[in-house]
Structure 1
């Protein structure tokens, strides 16, 4: 039976897990250990409390917090009430968060009181004191002066009726579960709508293919605001009775200790994570023999890293995959038994029920081995962008093909090889960074007259940004000034790690910036 047929909604996964796995550990977060039966009880309380806030079917609710029990319970409560979760990137600044809350029309916000030096609720009030739809704010981790309710007050606010169970029962696979905002090449975030059924089918298949089981435990390091941590993380785990250990901030030393203490067997994430674990000075002091399954995505994987993950981190299975938020973040994956070369050089074959084709600039399908734009069609493709029909029409054609903008080709075995990621986009430690968006923000800095951003290689993060800046006349801004201003106005992963002050930007006859020349300048500059 397919998982979208076994489970009608994401909350239903928890309900079935409580029946199947009882008091076995569902979540381990610090000193807290929560069994599947207890998790179901907490979920019902959360649904009841969300309904008491006046949130119902189709209502949008923002969720801005690090990986934690509270994030999962808040999401389940919103889903169970029929609401739509709007996950917010915890690295975003207040202006970025405010835009998403406005665009989605979120009526409530669940937020951490503070995280990584960010005071989200205070900063949001300063950035946009009159968010029109926002009625209620809940502080997830302790009281906050700007919050209407603490987490404990929220959980105590329900009426304890049978309404919560009835609300869960009404959920259907085609109901929208999430609006996942992803930055776009236009510089404005776009909200990808995804349904319960899409995620259940995609990640039910993936977790079965990868061999998730009741004896496994999963240290979830990728953030929950991304499908990697949320859908491939705790949702996939609960389908199979896997214990989830949320990690709020990746610390390789703490991760190694958790792997040894909790006998962690599943660890998915970008290559950066495994690079840091391999090179941590205390790695040899920890028993890592429990590690079994890994999948790494987000950038090219060196074959040497795969061999090191098996030899020095004890993984039996190392896989790679490709997807984008518009495709429920899963399109292709390598399979158990594929060679290290296949895993390193390709992202595997399409998952069942999904088609992939490569087309040239005129829209004609190309032969295997020939580069083309990757198009995807199947149940996993979003219904469209929230409140943005023009962007939807520009991305998904009349035949339901999703035009990814990514360039690749199929090898002789049907494995997808990624050649270029959206041409301009680059990936910083697993996070997508879009030059147009970053350039738009940097142009808000008065001394910056012109700017062009490119992705450049980085030994640890894979890629980072380099900003070529033309100063406004009669200004003496420095490279450090640009970096410092950027850190105050955008998420850390977007901040260019390199800044070059130049007299002018190279342009063609149409005045388009020649970024290939900038890449050559960076290489010639040696930094």
Structure 2
């Protein structure tokens, strides 16, 4: 039986449609065959530079060809790619590169006003495991140029020998958790797990070779590398890479390429539909609008349905630890179902809802979602305790997300387990309140969590980003919540901000908001 690896999936695509365009980036395009040939050369160059099976290669780049050259070349020789965000700086780079024992680092040379070449030239002493620095542009003395590695002659026998050693359980990519609840952990996503998620995704949404998706989700996140790239690889469809999310660029790409699939977090949909360019853009080619990352509040669901007339709105639930999607809406679900439920387990994956003792709870009762299947990653890099806590017995992944299920097997998201707080003896799930607040016409985004209170034990503190040109008041939002929520759920604190920190995937980064609150509280107590 043939091994199921990223290399074999690419070889299969080449055998079926060698000259089909797989990737677009600006005015450039790349066929399956061209990707295979170019990554053979890079894979051999990595071998010559001393990179071997089991080593890790860091990558800092936008959604661009070089990112994917590195990914596919590394996969061919059994090396893992450590996916780093271009927005990271000193503390993130030092922690993640050292934590993952990175042997080689591929990076863009600069972006905006930040020069990565200069930075790493002076930072080398802080990341001693990195032996090779490779830049897509100008580097420092002693570093390598990416393009030089792409033109070397290949010793095909040596390359094939390295390819033959790769197995399904080899790590393909290490993605650090988004940090919404604490210290990032490097998730070990294997050839097997990433392909299992992508295959189930393709089958569930009936992705065809004629489809073309917009690759706007960052490649250093499963939304980009699994739900866009690997899904397209297995279905032999195409992806338009958007280097960094920008509403105008996305809208232009949808119209120019007659894209059929767009996926994004709710924040991206809000920005897209609020863009001035939206008024003059034809979106009728879109057949599937995939929303992931967090619950889509009902009003936004209705707006997407109205403004993208041919695009069926569906939910996607997945996390780094599930290597990509593991729960999706059904294509037959109507809008009312999509507004309420995140969907059902896909492929042959299983789901259960458990209590604190990890015993299954009855239908309708809120508990922690656990997922089982080939999509489950193999753990966290160098973190045995955290791996045992999250990846339980019999390959069950305990997600830390609170849900309940109905008699038809649909799952309903209630928020993160660690985000639940108890106000006056009542369990409060922030996502429910956030969805209500986001419906207010003067609110663009809302994010909340519980903070200590002498009287209630904990109270809800909600950060509000107003709609441009508007400024809601505490009283307005309190009265609005009174109309839609039980009195014990009404937030006690509102904090108005022009913007809030976002994770690489576009979710509101509550860990930084919580840190800001803790520092403020500590300062006032001195």
- Using the alignment, how far apart are the partners of 2:109 and 2:307 within structure 1? 39
- Using the alignment, how far apart are the partners of 2:329 and 2:39 within structure 1? 35
2:411 paired residue number: 416
- Using the alignment, how far apart are the partners of 2:519 and 2:35 within structure 1? 56
SS in 1 for 2:324: coil
2:186 paired residue number: 191
Give a deviation string over 1:325-347, Cα, whole Å, max 9, x none. Answer: 11223331111011112112111
User: Are 2:227 and 2:324, in contact at CA under 8 Å, matched by a contact in 1?
Assistant: no
- Using the alignment, how far apart are the partners of 1:48 and 1:151 within structure 2? 13
- Using the alignment, how far apart are the partners of 1:95 and 1:434 within structure 2? 26
1:246-325 to 2 correspondence within 5 Å? 246-325=241-320
User: Are 2:293 and 2:507, in contact at CA under 8 Å, matched by a contact in 1?
Assistant: no
SS in 1 for 2:276: coil
SS in 2 for 1:207: helix
The answer to whether residue 228 in structure 2 is matched with residue 233 in structure 1 is: yes
Alignment CA distance shift 1:503-1:110 (3 Å): closer
Alignment CA distance shift 1:492-1:421 (3 Å): closer
1:79 paired residue number: 75
1:25 paired residue number: 21
Alignment CA distance shift 1:55-1:493 (3 Å): farther
Q: Please, which of 148, 156, 174 is the counterpart of residue 151 of structure 2?
A: 156
1:464 paired residue number: none
1:49-68 to 2 correspondence within 5 Å? 49-68=45-64
Shifted more, 116-125 versus 360-369: the winner is 116-125
When the two chains are superposed, the root-mean-square deviation of aligned CA atoms in Å is 3.6
- Using the alignment, how far apart are the partners of 2:520 and 2:54 within structure 1? 51
Q: Please, which of 373, 383, 398 is the counterpart of residue 388 of structure 1?
A: 383
- What is the deviation of 1:109? 0.5
Q: Please, which of 111, 114, 122 is the counterpart of residue 118 of structure 1?
A: 114
- Using the alignment, how far apart are the partners of 1:221 and 1:347 within structure 2? 21
Give a deviation string over 1:83-139, Cα, whole Å, max 9, x none. Answer: 111111222212201211111111000111122433334334545524221000111
User: Are 2:448 and 2:462, in contact at CA under 8 Å, matched by a contact in 1?
Assistant: no
User: Are 2:368 and 2:417, in contact at CA under 8 Å, matched by a contact in 1?
Assistant: no
1:105 paired residue number: 101
- What is the deviation of 1:493? 6.6
User: Are 2:41 and 2:154, in contact at CA under 8 Å, matched by a contact in 1?
Assistant: no
- Using the alignment, how far apart are the partners of 1:503 and 1:196 within structure 2? 44
Alignment CA distance shift 1:160-1:314 (3 Å): farther
- What is the deviation of 1:252? 1.1
Give a deviation string over 1:240-288, Cα, whole Å, max 9, x none. Answer: 2211111111111121111111111111111122222222222232222
- Using the alignment, how far apart are the partners of 1:7 and 1:287 within structure 2? 43
User: Are 1:138 and 1:154, in contact at CA under 8 Å, matched by a contact in 2?
Assistant: no
User: Are 1:110 and 1:139, in contact at CA under 8 Å, matched by a contact in 2?
Assistant: yes
Q: Please, which of 204, 210, 233 is the counterpart of residue 209 of structure 1?
A: 204
User: Are 1:217 and 1:242, in contact at CA under 8 Å, matched by a contact in 2?
Assistant: yes
User: Are 1:80 and 1:168, in contact at CA under 8 Å, matched by a contact in 2?
Assistant: yes
1:483-498 to 2 correspondence within 5 Å? 494=509, 496=513
Alignment CA distance shift 1:280-1:61 (3 Å): same
1:516 paired residue number: none
- What is the deviation of 1:160? 4.3
Structure 2 spans left out of the alignment, 5+ residues: 421-429, 439-446, 451-458, 469-494
Alignment CA distance shift 1:505-1:341 (3 Å): farther
- Using the alignment, how far apart are the partners of 2:191 and 2:271 within structure 1? 34
TM-score normalized by the length of structure 1: 0.79
Give a deviation string over 1:182-229, Cα, whole Å, max 9, x none. Answer: 155784321111210111121112022212222221111110000000
- Using the alignment, how far apart are the partners of 1:194 and 1:369 within structure 2? 32
User: Are 1:371 and 1:409, in contact at CA under 8 Å, matched by a contact in 2?
Assistant: yes
The answer to whether residue 220 in structure 2 is matched with residue 222 in structure 1 is: no
- Using the alignment, how far apart are the partners of 2:519 and 2:102 within structure 1? 42
Alignment CA distance shift 1:303-1:67 (3 Å): same
Structure 1 spans left out of the alignment, 5+ residues: 437-451, 462-478, 512-527
Give a deviation string over 1:469-506, Cα, whole Å, max 9, x none. Answer: xxxxxxxxxx9xx999x99xxx9975649967998579
Alignment CA distance shift 1:112-1:407 (3 Å): same
User: Are 2:61 and 2:107, in contact at CA under 8 Å, matched by a contact in 1?
Assistant: yes
1:423-434 to 2 correspondence within 5 Å? 423-424=418-419
1:42 paired residue number: 38
Matched positions, count: 462
The answer to whether residue 173 in structure 2 is matched with residue 178 in structure 1 is: yes
2:371 paired residue number: 376
SS in 2 for 1:233: helix
